[in-house]
Amino acid sequence: MLRYLTAGESHGEALVAILEGVPAGLKIDATVINKELKRRQSGFGRGRRMQIETDKVHILSGLKNGVSIGSPIALLIKNKDFKISKLPKVLFPRPGHADLAGLLKYGFTDARDVLERASARSTAVTVALGTVCKILLRQFGIEISSCVLSVGGEKTKEGMEEKIRQAINKKDTVGGIFEVVAKGVPPGLGSYTQPDKRLGARLAAEIMGTPGVKSIEIGLGLGFAYQFGSEVHDEIHYSRGKGFYRLTNNAGGIEGGISNGENIIVRACMKPISTLMNPLKSVNIITKKPGAANVERSDTCVVSAAGVVAESACAYVLADAFLEKFGSDSLRDIKDSYRNYLKKIS
């Protein structure tokens, strides 16, 4: 139902996205998108680029008087730091980055040709299109949020900030774990009929597409491996007021690839950023002689920002599954279909 493409480089002229499949009749306010873009740029441990860029979205198409008309929505975010053709070559690829793998794949002689697109700068426009999906989901009472659970193994706010300070002082970086929660998701999104239709698989693919995310779990996740089935499966209850419900949510809101009406809970690990101010060992791609990896302007910790990006990834998947279930042409028709469904399952 929904599909998108993004384009743009870290130091290119702009970032662009085209989102197709948004139903007609949805009011889309650019200020709502800009607030989400600001959230992505926030968080303790962000780098100097965040002081240069003040991301603002320009909606190029798909709206009339601020309301969607069913045609593709084009979004543009300009880069203030536009200097891609003036930057020096990068000859010492960074461990942990796409630099070397990209060079080998495409046959480049400058890692700049890889890192400009592989950069997490591209997630700015991902957040923009994901916010459009959030706006749609809010029409049906679905809200998505994220939080940081730990940084460098520390779980308190004070401990996490201290870990980031240590990384700054060491000219190092640090990663952590974030959680995304989607509330108000109805039962019935996704399907068990094919692997690529399973809601968990779709969420995992989209969130793992975020640069730097190295693992993901839904609900209890790895915790399922350490307990008996009787201890982890969520018992089913029913009341006239609630309908079917659970007292626990170890499944994370998804069973058999389908949402079950409970909150969808996803946790993911964001690795430490690959660019270190005190760089690791590398090899010159031309001379093959050893040396220090290149240093690019970067962040110290982006776990909070990764959570915001993952919210958008989650919003896209849930919006896609929602339109798949309830129709996709006009918002009014979708609302009618949704009301009838809720009445039926109640």
HSE-CB of 274 using CA atoms within 13 angstroms: 22
Q: What is the pLDDT of residues 142-185, one digit of tens each?
A: 999 999 999 999 999 999 999 999 999 999 999 999 999 999 99
* pLDDT of 49 above 80: no
- 91-148, pLDDT tens digit by residue? 999 999 999 999 999 999 999 999 999 999 999 999 999 999 999 999 999 999 999 9
Scored b (16 or more CB within 10 A) or e, 56-80 reads ebebeebbeeeebebebbbbbbbbe
Residues 43 and 301: beta-carbon distance below 8 Å = yes
Tally Cβ neighbours within 10 Å of residue 236: 10
Instruction: Give the C-alpha separation, 185 to 94, whole Å.
Output: 41
* pLDDT of 346: 83
Would you call 229 helix, strand, or coil by DSSP? helix
- Check residue 232 and give its pLDDT: 97
Residue type (1 letter), 178: F
Q: Residue 215: which H helix or E strand, with range?
A: strand 213-218
Count other Cβ atoms within 10 Å, centred on residue 49. Answer: 19
Q: What is the value of pTM for the model shown? A: 0.95
Residue 96 in 3-state DSSP?
A: coil
Mean pLDDT of the region 251-265: 98
Q: What is the 3-state secondary structure (H, E, C) of 234-279?
A: CCEEEECCCEEEECCCCCCCEECCEECCCCEEEEEEECCCCCCCCC
CB 335 within 8 A of CB 342: no
pLDDT of residue 298: 83
The single residue listed with the structure tokens 């760089």 is: 279
Question: What pairs with residue 282 in β-bridges?
Answer: 291
Q: Does 47 have pLDDT greater than 70?
A: no
- Position 53 scores a pLDDT of 65
Q: Residue 142 is encoded by which pair of tokens?
A: 């679905």
**Boundaries of every domain in the chain:** 3-345
CA distance 251 to 149: 19
- The arithmetic mean of pLDDT across residues 180-200, rounded, is 98
Average pLDDT over residues 315-329: 97
Tell me the average pLDDT of the chain.
Answer: 95
The predicted model gives 297-303 an average pLDDT of: 90
CATH of 3-345, one of 3.30.200.20, 1.10.260.40, 3.60.150.10, 1.20.1270.10: 3.60.150.10
